[in-house]
Structure formats: structure tokens, C-alpha cells
């Protein structure tokens, strides 16, 4: 997979690209991630990328030319252009699974008071990571990159994510490790029983209980299958 991230603040990505799973995935050639400063595509002498909004109002709005020029320069037949915006579709785990199959992602990070509306004509998908406002699309784009790259073949073992929270609209079951007894709180006996069927049944039951207690809205999204 190739990922191009269009941003005005490329150094914000220094950490996420040089640590942990993403770093290893880049080194293995599983993913190629490029940070593109779309200020470089500005046609103005001072490399300006924003301007005051028509009709008045506070703040500055991103101009069409630099972003559209960057998108058109990078786009191929395999590309999917994603705009990170609070007005976008709420991002879910199922979206991460779908996006991992895209050969080339172009992530567009907004800033200031938003995009010139006409830029939307050049993107394929708009996504939001939540109902709150950030200073720009850089952090949301990092969320997408992290959630997608870990699902790519070879990044981590499939067993490490197959039962993640939100798989089948369920939260993950509780997990334990050594010591067996920590300050009087013991690991459930079934987990040390060696009976794999009982362990699987216990974990399924606990995932359902935890979801009902903490996120009952998830169970309503998938019909009655998870509630039975």
C-alpha cells in the first residue's frame, strides 16, 4: 500500500512514522508513506495557501489551487482521495478493514477555518474521527494510518487483531496475565483450565456482557445476532 498525506505541517508526522508497528511496516516494505507539504503547490509568490472567506467571517479558508494541484499530481487509477473533516462520515473499524484493500490512499488534512467548498469535488470520501473540533486534519490522518497499517498483511499477526473491539460490533473480552493472584484479585479459573472450548465460550460471553454494559448501542447496529 502507498499512502500520501497532504499537510501544511509535515513535522507533525515525525513521531508516528519512526516508532512501533508503522516504522516496522515501512522497513518491511508493507507500506510506503509520503508526507507532502501542499504549500509547495501554491502558485502565489509568497506560497500562500489560504485567504479570507467570501461573504465575511472569522479565520482563513484553504484555497483551491494548491490542494487540487497536489491531488491531481499524485492521483492514479488506484487512488482513493480521503478528506479529513468533522463534516465527514464517522470513521469505524469496518472502514479500516475496507481501506486496507486500497492500493493508494491520499489523505487530505485541512487547517484554519476549513476548505474552499469546491475542493470537495476532487475527493472521493470524507471521514471524521469524532464529533469534536481539532486544529487540523493531521491527527485524524494519523488515526487512519495507524488503524489501517496494523491490518495489512505482515504488519502484525492476524490473531492480534481478529478479536479486536468493534469486530462483529462487540467490545473486546477482558484479558489477564501473570501473576495469577494480584492483591487478592485472581484470574478467572476458566482461563487456566486448559479447556479451549470453555475459554472461547467464556470470552464470547464476556464480550457480550461488556458491550451491553458499556456500549449497548453497538448491539443495536447488527440486528439480533450478537444479542442472542
Q: Please say whether the beta carbons of 72 and 45 come within 8 A.
A: no
Nearest 5°: CA angle at 87, between 83 and 91?
70
Q: Is 150 a catalytic residue?
A: yes
Q: Kindly name the residue from 4, 50, 140, 150 that is annotated as catalytic.
A: 150
Each residue of 32-66: b (16+ CB within 10 Å) or e?
ebebbbbbebbeeeeeebbeeeeeeeeebbbbebb
Other CB atoms within a 10 A radius of the CB of residue 132 amount to 7
Q: Please say whether the beta carbons of 61 and 50 come within 8 A.
A: yes
Q: Tell me if residue 29 falls in helix, strand or coil.
A: coil
Rounded CA-CA distance 66/223 in Å is 45
Q: Kindly name the residue from 10, 24, 86, 95 that is annotated as catalytic.
A: 86
Contacts of residues 19-23 at CB distance under 8 Å and 24 or more positions apart, as own/partner, are 21/146, 21/149, 21/150, 21/155, 21/156, 22/145, 22/146, 22/149
Q: Is 14 a catalytic residue?
A: no
Q: Kindly name the residue from 164, 172, 210, 215 that is annotated as catalytic.
A: 164
Q: Kindly name the residue from 24, 39, 75, 113 that is annotated as catalytic.
A: 113
Q: Which residues neighbour 76 within 8 Å (Cβ) at sequence distance 6 or greater? A: 104
Q: Please say whether the beta carbons of 149 and 28 come within 8 A.
A: no
Active site residues: 86, 113, 150, 164
Amino acid at each position: 500500500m502507498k499512502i500520501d498525506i497532504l499537510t501544511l505541517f509535515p513535522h507533525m508526522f515525525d513521531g508516528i512514522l519512526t516508532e512501533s508497528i508503522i516504522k516496522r511496516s515501512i522497513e518491511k516494505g508493507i507500506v510506503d508513506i509520503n508526507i507532502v507539504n501542499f504549500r509547495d503547490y501554491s502558485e502565489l509568490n509568497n506560497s500562500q495557501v489560504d485567504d479570507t472567506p467570501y461573504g465575511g467571517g472569522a479565520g482563513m479558508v484553504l484555497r483551491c489551487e494548491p490542494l487540487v494541484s497536489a491531488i491531481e499530481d499524485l492521483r492514479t487509477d488506484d487512488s482513493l482521495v480521503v478528506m479529513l473533516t468533522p463534516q465527514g462520515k464517522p470513521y469505524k473499524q469496518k472502514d479500516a478493514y475496507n481501506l486496507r484493500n486500497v492500493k493508494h490512499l491520499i489523505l487530505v488534512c485541512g487547517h484554519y477555518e476549513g476548505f474552499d467548498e469546491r475542493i470537495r469535488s476532487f475527493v472521493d470520501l470524507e471521514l471524521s474521527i469524532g464529533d469534536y473540533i481539532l486544529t487540523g486534519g493531521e491527527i485524524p490522518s494519523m488515526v487512519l494510518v495507524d488503524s489501517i497499517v496494523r491490518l495489512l498483511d505482515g504488519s502484525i499477526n492476524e490473531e492480534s487483531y481478529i478479536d479486536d473491539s468493534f469486530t462483529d460490533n462487540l467490545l473486546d473480552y477482558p484479558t489477564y496475565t501473570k501473576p495469577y493472584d494480584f492483591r487478592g484479585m485472581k484470574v478467572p479459573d476458566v482461563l487456566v483450565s486448559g479447556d479451549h472450548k470453555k475459554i472461547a465460550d467464556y470470552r464470547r460471553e464476556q464480550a457480550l456482557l461488556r458491550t451491553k454494559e458499556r456500549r449497548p448501542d453497538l448491539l443495536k447496529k447488527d440486528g439480533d445476532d450478537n444479542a442472542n
